[in-house]
């Protein structure tokens, strides 16, 4: 779909804003009212940039998160929506990455996101796979789209 390509390109551009030294990831949350919020990974702006060197440089993806001051790209648009008092129920998340980690998946589900669209179906771990499968069985929508 044309909208998918547009929003996924925005998510790819959002990744350029990431201040995380380990990964540059981006998302776009599209609310039912048409409002859009971008997300990227990095610490809140008042904390400045991530540590140099990154304390997670040698860590496996999704591990040692307690060492990291960064907000995940999936969380930032939900937090921005909440800050403005906007409802995220029925929204769609475009994620320029694989399937979100289990913590982000749980937060997306709790926020009422109804559809998650990624560029590939890769998982951090078995728990994120199980959570996604359970969410889909309850009516959540998940798709993978190819981007140019």
Q: Which domains does the chain have, with CATH numbers?
A: 2-144 (3.40.140.10)
Mean pLDDT over 108-126 rounds to: 94
Give how far Cα 59 sits from Cα of 23, 66, 96, 121, Å: 12, 12, 21, 21
Please give the mean pLDDT across all residues of the chain. 88
pLDDT of residue 61: 67
pLDDT of residue 130: 96
């Amino acid at each position: 779909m044309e909208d998918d390509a547009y929003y996924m390109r925005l998510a790819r551009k959002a990744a350029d804003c990431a201040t995380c030294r380990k990964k540059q990831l981006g998302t776009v949350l599209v609310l039912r009212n048409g409002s859009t919020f971008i997300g990227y990974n990095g610490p809140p702006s008042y904390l400045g940039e991530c540590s140099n060197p990154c304390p997670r440089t040698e860590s496996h993806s999704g591990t040692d998160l307690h060492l990291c001051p960064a907000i995940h790209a999936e969380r930032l648009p939900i937090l921005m929506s909440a800050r403005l008092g906007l409802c995220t129920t029925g929204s769609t998340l475009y994620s320029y990455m694989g399937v979100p980690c289990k913590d982000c998946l749980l937060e997306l589900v709790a926020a009422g996101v109804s559809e998650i669209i990624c560029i590939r179906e890769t998982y951090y771990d078995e728990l994120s796979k199980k959570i996604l499968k359970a969410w889909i069985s309850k009516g959540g929508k998940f798709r993978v789209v190819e981007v140019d």
